[in-house]
Amino acid sequence: MARSHCKLAPVLIVVMNLGALTALAQSPMADSSNRSILNGAAVEYLYPEQVTVTAGESSAVAMHFRVGEGLHVNSHTPSQDYLIPTALSFPDSSGVRLESATYPDGQEFTLPVDPATKLSVYTGEFTIHVRIVAARGNHLVEAKLHYQACDKEACFPPKTITVPIDVIAK
């Protein structure tokens, strides 16, 4: 009797795994748009790819981003303390210092399930105006944009995307 039970164990494991995979494939997180969000595609860096600035002087640069269709990200100043703000950073070792960043005002947004709560979010395209100071030379900066994307039903894990910008300081 014990031998026939052991022969069924691998079959049961396969059947259970197939059931779990079927359930996962039918879940809302399995559709292709949600998978692209999980892979960091909720916010796209648009431009500029390259800027020329005066070495050692504060220079203004407008950095343009786009939030995916049907999504929103919390603004830099979210309406609730527990919400994750959108934030841009430059690495210390890049030869380019982020002197300041001015974020756009968020748009007021309410969820259908809680119309009393007003959120401050970015949708569509938004621009972060920065002031940078660069040492003389050509610097390939891999800035970072940290955000949390949500749709009308759920929020996805926070993401950080690389924002490449070639800074030429003369």
Q: For 63-99, what is each residue's pLDDT tens digit?
A: 999 999 999 999 999 998 899 999 999 999 899 999 9
Q: And the tokens for 120?
A: 């401050």
* pTM for this prediction: 0.75
My answer on whether 118 and 59 are in the same domain is: yes
User: Is 37 among the domain residues?
Assistant: no
My answer on whether 62 and 122 are in the same domain is: yes
Supply the range of the domain harboring residue 140.
42-169
State the DSSP H helix or E strand holding residue 62, giving kind and residue range, or none if neither. strand 59-67
Q: What is the pLDDT of residue 129?
A: 98
My answer on whether 71 and 146 are in the same domain is: yes
Q: What is the pLDDT of residue 28?
A: 41
My answer on whether 19 and 64 are in the same domain is: no
Q: And the tokens for 17?
A: 């795994």
* CB-based contacts of 167, cutoff 8 Å, min separation 6: 50, 51, 53, 95, 96, 132, 134, 138, 139, 140, 141
How many structural domains comprise the chain?
A: 2
Q: Collapsing DSSP states into helix, strand and coil, what is residue 83? A: coil
User: Is 142 among the domain residues?
Assistant: yes
For 56: left if phi > 0, alpha if psi spans -120 to 50, otherwise beta; the answer is: left
